[in-house]
Amino acid sequence: MLCDAVSEEEVFEAYLLYASLHGMSTAGEEVRERIASYLNNQPDSIIDEALLAFAEDRIIAPPDVVLPQWGRSRIYELVQTPQQEWRHHVCESWFENDCEFYHDARDPELYHFWTQLAFNPESNNLLHRVTAGMRLQLQIDGERVRVHHRHMGLVGELPSNLAEEILGDRSKDLRYLVLVDAAGASAPDSPGPATCRLLVTVGTPNVGLGPIIAYARQAFGANRAKC
């Protein structure tokens, strides 16, 4: 246990930050009960890791974690290591601007994020027909953003908060390339309908389709170490 000389409120803050970054439940009563057990000498490796990350001021979570408050993950750029490997890196201009874009030259021309999609309940066997790497298309329908496959039709709808963000950026003429990242994945802490995780690559209008496809392919296969 790592609770020596750490107040309950510090444990609470550390755990909430860690849980939110990992897409875990942050329900107040549930968290308080878990922390009370921990402070009563009940081992909890998740709280231990949260305290270490908090003490060292680290953002530590797999990049593809979808956060409920956004309906998507954090926003990433690809960076290449000295070993010529591609890695996911939190987009600096977005992070430094309170998780918003400036929509000018300070922002990258290409970036990506992940989101979770609930399958269309009116379509049969989507869980078995949608496969990793499949390309999908976004279609705006009023205040909703629907996700379609060219043969299967409607696959599902984007979360409302992400749809609102995309609708708000319509005037920017951004280009989206959507790939199925993991078919049949379940949303964290949710007993609801079957879902799949999508990798969404975004390019500014001056980026051609070729570079967007190449970027999406690299992002799809890049190492997802915690960052």
d(CA 178, CA 184): 16
Mean pLDDT, residues 41-47: 89
Q: Which pTM does this prediction carry?
A: 0.78
Beta strands in the chain (DSSP E): 76-80, 86-90, 110-119, 135-141, 144-149, 153-157, 175-182, 195-203
d(CA 223, CA 227): 11
What are 55-68's pLDDT values in tens digits?
776 667 789 988 88
Phi, psi for residue 104 in degrees, rounded to 5: -145, -165
Task: Provide the pLDDT for residue 12.
Answer: 87
Beta bridge partners of 78: 88
Beta bridge partners of 114: 199
Q: Other C-beta atoms within 10 Å of 158: how many?
A: 25
What are 146-167's pLDDT values in tens digits?
999 999 999 999 999 999 999 9
Look up residue 34 and give its two tokens.
Answer: 């878990």
What are 91-133's pLDDT values in tens digits?
999 988 888 999 888 999 999 999 999 888 887 678 788 999 9
